[in-house]
Amino acid sequence: MAQAGEDRRTRLEAILRESPVIPVVTIADAAHAVPLARALLEGGIAVVEVTLRTPAATEAIRRIRAEVPSIVPGAGTVLSPARLEQVEKLDVAFAVSPGATARLLEAARASPVPLLPGVATASEAMTVLESGFTLAKLFPAEPAGGVALLKALAGPLPELRFCPMGGIDAGNAAAYLALSNVLCVGGSWLAPSDAIAAGDWRRITALARAASELRGGAG
């Protein structure tokens, strides 16, 4: 079990180091999935988190897996063990949750898919560490305290490293990426819903390119 946990952590850390920014995308129409993934890749971003917030999400992930094999697909909004089981079947490379319930953490310890659990407080950070997780999503990053909160957590909890998400954009991403306990950031600003709906893939590629050029996270 310890070995399996180590393997999941190694895979997740490699994914979080793949790009300074993980695009968080919500896809309403599965037909948008492949051009969207290609637009992100074209801009230099090789990871994507597809949120499970729309009926089209699972089909979108399937299409990305089948047709854009060079992008690493993850599933977001994994709220329960049942959803984790669902994404295991989709063969995603990682799963992300906005928070961390005891049931979800327990299921993740037995899952082949590495989970990036969400935390927003020191107590939640201690809970995920107790369950053996050393990589977490700070969510919602800006409302929860942002850069100042992450600096404060680095003192007592140096072994926990973060991918902050929630309220991050091109204007504040660099301040997060400069922190010693941040590996990458995530956000929806690279794939705005109006650009997806309009099929404005060039705009998404330009946003991705600017994001991919941000300085990488902690060494």
Residues involved in catalysis:
49, 137
Task: Decide if 160 contacts 128 (C-beta within 8 A).
Answer: yes
Distance CA 155, CA 34 (A): 42
Q: Which is nearer to ligand 3PG, 133 or 189 (CB)?
A: 189
Structure tokens of 162?
Answer: 């973060």
For residue 166, state whether it binds ligand 3PG (rule: CB under 6 A): yes
3-state secondary structure of 47: strand
Q: How many CB atoms lie within 10 A of CB 195?
A: 18
- Residue 202 CB partners (closer than 8 Å, separation 6+): 39
Q: Which is nearer to ligand 3PG, 2 or 171 (CB)?
A: 171
Q: Which is nearer to ligand 3PG, 5 or 171 (CB)?
A: 171
- Residue 158 CB partners (closer than 8 Å, separation 6+): 181
Nearest-approach distance from CB 4 to ligand 3PG, in angstroms: 27
For residue 117, state whether it binds ligand 3PG (rule: CB under 6 A): no
Answer left, alpha or beta for residue 146, where phi above 0 means left and psi between -120 and 50 means alpha. Answer: left
Q: Mask: binding to ligand 3PG, 169-208, rule CB under 6 A, as x and -? A: -----------------xxxx-------------------
Binding residues for ligand 3PG restricted to 83-102, rule: CB under 6 A: 98
For residue 165, state whether it binds ligand 3PG (rule: CB under 6 A): yes
Q: Which is nearer to ligand 3PG, 99 or 132 (CB)?
A: 99
Binding residues for ligand 3PG restricted to 9-38, rule: CB under 6 A: 24
Q: Which of 35, 81, 145, 167 binds ligand 3PG (CB under 6 A)?
A: 167
Q: Which is nearer to ligand 3PG, 98 or 114 (CB)?
A: 98
Side chain identity, residue 193: S
Nearest-approach distance from CB 189 to ligand 3PG, in angstroms: 6
Distance CA 219, CA 204 (A): 28
Angle between helices 201-212 and 33-42 (to 10 degrees): 40
Task: Decide if 22 contacts 186 (C-beta within 8 A).
Answer: yes
Q: Which residues bind ligand 3PG (CB under 6 A)?
A: 24, 98, 139, 165-168, 186-189
